[in-house]
Every structure is written in structure tokens, then in C-alpha cells.
Amino acid sequence: MLRVMTLVVLCALFTLSSQFSAASTSSQPPTIFTPTKITELYAWVIRAFAGDPAYNDLMLAFAALFSPRPPAHAVSLLESALEALPSDSDAPLGEPYSLMERESGSLGAMGAGQWTGQFRTRPHALLDVRQFSTVDEYTKSLSRGARRTLARSYAQNFTVTSKTILGNEPAPHSSLAHFRCVVEHEVRLLSPNSGSLDDDLLQALAEAINRFNNCVSQAGELREYRDSNTGEIIAFAQEAAKGRVSRGQWFYASDAAAKQYVWFHSVQEIVGRSIENPDIDVVDLGPSGTDAFSELKAKYGFASVNDWHTVADYRGRFKYENGDEGPSWKQLDPPDWLFEKKRGPFGIF
Ligand SMILES: *[C@@H]1O[C@H](CO)[C@@H](O)[C@H](O)[C@H]1NC(C)=O
């Protein structure tokens, strides 16, 4: 069902913006992507994720949201989706994937294809935490500018809560409030006219929907950031520990959180926890060269490693902070021979 939806998204992108561009005549197109639109989009995609075929057409959703003359059945679908939304915007409404399904999704997103020999990924950003015995040693190894930014990130008005993502339950971050973080994050990165109706905006929304669907169907620990004055969810990070690696997998911040150094805070936190955890050797922040965070990762001590799969040892089960361990993935784990040769730091002989 979800794959079908992805296909429909791509087709929609090429026809929609030309269809609606006549609506904006001025050189500065009006911002029509209001907060209400995020709620409407969430109401729609949650129905599609639940497998309701009437909602499995993102072009229709975009028409309902943005067309000056939306088709009547699109309007009534949107109305009934909105009526079904609970008033609590923090309520998780995602699908109750099993732990096996969640871990399998995480494996793919981790880049397991590289160690199973199916495909090559981009280099990954790795930090070997065995070189540090305290988080202070880590921060002292960084440039003065980076240290100052990290210190600033700890002087902000937010609180962090950790939640383990469980099997057979909706993911705790499958709520409207978290969806808002993902959408604002993607629109900020991909839609330079921020909120004007054009191809960039539709591309950003389609990307946000795919990313949201991916992260709420996967496993790990959720770090949830709230504004301590308003209580509002402003960002989240999702990490998964497997074998001897802690993988920082997903990070999304609202526009407000982007100004509050939340990402930097999340990096120091995952490094600090991994230094203290004797089972973890390496923190893996994932692909380098794919997003705005890539240069930052280097500034915070993470090396870009081509053969990351021979350095970050992902052999072994997923481990959770509530003490649970996932099923064995032995047949999909990295082969032992990858780790048998004596290698220097980061796989360089
Ligand atoms: C945190 O909130 C307090 C009270 O609202 C405010 O005075 C202070 O400037 C805020 N700090 C930052 C770093 O925004």
C-alpha cells in the first residue's frame, strides 16, 4: 500500500504545480502553506498509511489542500479525515508494526545493503568513542567554535524525553506534532520560497511524507524535544543500537528548534551515552554528503568513511534502553571476515 502511494506522489509532482501556477500571478507567489495545511496533510496521510484506498492518492490530497476549485469528493475525504483526528496533537496514530518489521526497516535504512553486498552506500560519518573516557574529553577534542555551540545548545529552553519504540504499538512519534517537525524541516531544506506553491514545495511535502512514513515504521529510541515554556514538541532524534554501534538515524526540527541548536545537543547526547556504554564502540551518523548536516558532522569529530561497514561493527542484535533485545538477524549480519583483518583507525591499513 505504501509503495503504491509513493508512485502516485511522483506522478502528482509533475502535473500539479503547472496546474496551479496560474493561481499565482505576482513575482512573489503568496505563501499558502499555513500551519493548517500541515494538519490537513497529516489527517490525509494517516488514513493512507492505515491502508484506506480512498486516500492512496497524494495528487488528490494536494488538490484538496491547494486547488482553488478542489473536486467535491476530495473535499469530503479531507473533511472526514479531519473529523477523525483526535484533539490531542501528540497522540500517536501510526501503524502498530511488529518489532521484526521495525528492525527490518531500520536495517535497510542503516545501509545493511553495503555489508550484505547488495549495493554500495555513500560514505558514513563515524566517531570511534573508545578513544574517550568522558564526554568532556570528546568536547575538548573539538574546535573552540564547536565547543561554544555545544555549550550554547545546553543553555536553551527545551527539555528532552527518551522513549523506546515498541513493537505492536504505534510509534510514539507518529503524531501530528512530530509530523509538523518533519514537514517544517523538509520545507526549510528543500523549498527556498518557503511555503509558496511551486514544485519545490510539493517535492518537499512528498519527501516529508516518505521520511515520516519511514521513521515511524522503524525501531530504536526516540529523543523528543519540547519547548520548556510552551510544552510544544519542537524536534526529535531517533537512534538505534545494533551490535557495537549506535546509529543516529533520523533528526527533524521545527523552524523554532532550528534556531535553538537542538541538533548539536542531540549529537553531544548520543556521543556521551555511547562513551558511557561499554557495548558501544562507534557512533554512526549515517551517510555523508546527502544533507545540510554533512559538513557539520566533520566539525563535530565525525570522519567520512567509505568502507564504514568494516569499521562500524553491526554484528549482533538490536538493543533497547528498556533492556529488551530484538530477534537475531544472523543471516543478514555483516560477515565475520570483514572484521578479521587487523585494521588501523577507520579501515586504513
Ligand atoms: C528561556 O526562557 C526565559 C523565560 O521565558 C527567557 O528569559 C530566556 O531568555 C530564554 N533563554 C533562551 C536561551 O532563549
The pLDDT, as a whole number, for residue 302 is 96
What is the whole-number distance in angstroms between the Cα of residue 155 and the centre of ligand 1? Answer: 9
More confident position, 34 or 149: 149
Residue nearest to atom 3 of ligand 1 (CA): 157
The pLDDT of residue 208: 97
The Å distance, Cα 261 to ligand 1 centre, comes to: 14
Closest to 278 (Cα-Cα) out of 310, 325, 317, 246: 246
Binding pocket residue ranges, ligand 1, CB within 6 Å: 155-157, 229
Nearest alpha carbon, ligand 1 atom 12: 156
Q: Indicate the DSSP class of residue 308.
A: G
Distances (CA, A) of 75 to 15, 62, 68, 69: 19, 11, 12, 10
Sign (positive or negative) of CA dihedral 112, 117, 119, 120: positive
CB 268 within 8 A of CB 341: no
Minimum CA distance residue for ligand 1 atom 7: 157
Atom number of ligand 1 nearest to Cα 157:
1
Best of 149, 157, 229 for a ligand 1 pocket test (most atoms within 8 Å of beta carbon): 157
Helix (H) or strand (E) holding 43: helix 35-49
CB contact set of 272 (below 8 Å; sequence gap of 6+): 135, 138
Q: If you measure from the C-alpha of residue 299 to the centroid of ligand 1, how many angstroms do you get, rounded to a whole number?
A: 27
3-state SS assignment for residue 278: coil
**Pair 250, 179: CB distance under 8 Å:** no
Protein residue with least CA distance to atom 10, ligand 1? 157
Atom index in ligand 1 nearest the CA of residue 156 equals: 13
The whole-number pLDDT of residue 131 equals 97
The residue whose CA has the least distance to atom 4 of ligand 1 is 229
Q: Which pLDDT tens digit goes with each residue over 131-171?
A: 999 999 999 999 999 999 999 999 999 999 999 999 999 99
Average pLDDT, the chain: 89
Q: What is the DSSP letter of 156?
A: S
Q: Are 153 and 258 in contact (CB under 8 A)?
A: no
Neighbours of 330 (CB within 10 A): 9
Whole-angstrom Cα distance, residue 33 to residue 84?
22
pLDDT of 15 above 60: no
Q: How far apart are CA 66 and CA 89, in angstroms?
A: 22
254 Cα to the center of ligand 1, angstroms: 18
Residue 265 and residue 159 in contact, taking contact as beta carbons nearer than 8 Å: no
> Residue 46 C-alpha to ligand 1 middle, in angstroms?
35
Q: How far is the CA of 147 from the centre of ligand 1 (A)?
A: 21
Specify the pLDDT at position 340. Answer: 82
Atom of ligand 1 nearest to the CA of 229: 5
CA distance 273 to 127: 13
Domains, the chain, ordered by start: 1-85+172-216 (no CATH), 99-169+218-347 (3.40.630.30)
pLDDT digits (tens, 9 = 90+) for 81-108: 999 999 999 999 999 999 999 999 999 9
